[in-house]
Amino acid sequence: MAAADPAKPWETTRRGLLLLVSSPAGAGKTSLSRRLVADYADLILSISATTRAPRPGEEEGREYFFKERAQFHAMVEAGELLEWAEVNGNCYGTPKAPVMAAMEAGKDVLFDIDWQGARQVAQKAPDDSVRVFVLPPSWPDLSRRLHARAQDSEEIIRQRLALGQREIQHWNEYDYVIVNKDFDRAYADLIHIYRSERMKPGRNPWLPQFVQALREE
Ligand code: 5GP
């Protein structure tokens, strides 16, 4: 937790939250997440490690840290990952150190991870985790979005849709569900969730002292 400025305790003393966002591929989770991180300085994006090959346009350290399988398993063995899971034949995991550093500094962390990862983080840090699931408005719409990206072959799109069918079975494990019919509306919903969760008393350890001071004024 960051140290308090006695004049403005709410600006510095806060307990960070872990915002876990999952969805089938193509439902808009990545765009929503990246926009929220761009708009809120106190929110940091967790960059995962993966054994999957970079897609066209992806950069090392921006979308992912791309690893060989042996390197990834060395990270697992060394306890460097907060969680990890196999998705569609590739390993994905969350490096622990940046999350710890962010929490220590009173920052919030957003995770773009699958249901298995969200479940593991929420089990490890139940009080700090907020889980959000993003659904597409319809399955044909999702398929259209994946085709429109033109990033993947027909076979990969087929696999991603099949994986998405398995992912949506876990919608009910989440604290919030957003149906992404319209990006701006879905983004407004995500902001509401984030800001409301930030206002929970437990995430604002400056409150008792602040109220005490109010009572003494
Ligand atoms: P993609 O290959 O399309 O980037 O990601 C495939 C799936 O892996 C997505 O559902 C994505 O959210 C998930 N994923 C990405 N990073 C992680 C991670 O660190 N841990 C887990 N468990 N899932 C992840």
Residue range 162-217, pLDDT digits in tens: 999 999 999 999 999 999 999 999 999 999 999 999 999 999 999 998 999 999 98
Rounded distance from Cα 106 to ligand 1 centre (Å): 25
pLDDT band at 20 (very low <50, low <70, confident <90, very high): very high
Domain assignment present for residue 66? The answer is: no
Domain assignment present for residue 90? The answer is: no
Amino acid at 32: L
Question: pTM value?
Answer: 0.93
Domain span including residue 21? 9-46+106-216
25 lines ligand 1 (CB under 6 A): yes
Helix (H) / strand (E) element for 64: namely strand 64-66
* Cα dist from 52 to 6, 49, 70, 88, 214, whole Å: 47, 9, 13, 9, 54
Q: pLDDT tens digit string along 93-138?
A: 999 999 999 998 889 999 999 999 999 999 999 999 999 999 999 9
3-class state of residue 54 by DSSP: coil
Mean per-residue pLDDT for 65-83?
97
164 lines ligand 1 (CB under 6 A): no
Query: In the block, which residue shows the tokens 């940046």?
Result: 98
Domain assignment present for residue 157? The answer is: yes
CA 152 to chain centre: 23
Domain assignment present for residue 62? The answer is: no
117 lines ligand 1 (CB under 6 A): yes
Alpha-carbon span 156 to 158, nearest angstrom: 5
Rounded distance from Cα 92 to ligand 1 centre (Å): 6
Domain assignment present for residue 201? The answer is: yes
Tokens of residue 120, six digits: 């593991």
Tally of CB atoms within 10 A around 159? 15
CATH number at residue 141: 3.40.50.300
85 lines ligand 1 (CB under 6 A): yes
Tally of CB atoms within 10 A around 172? 8
Mutate to test the pocket of ligand 1, among 72, 87, 109 (most ligand atoms within 8 A of CB): 87
Instruction: Count up the domains in the chain and report the number.
Output: 1
Domain assignment present for residue 135? The answer is: yes
At residue 175, the pLDDT reads 98
Alpha-carbon span 68 to 194, nearest angstrom: 35
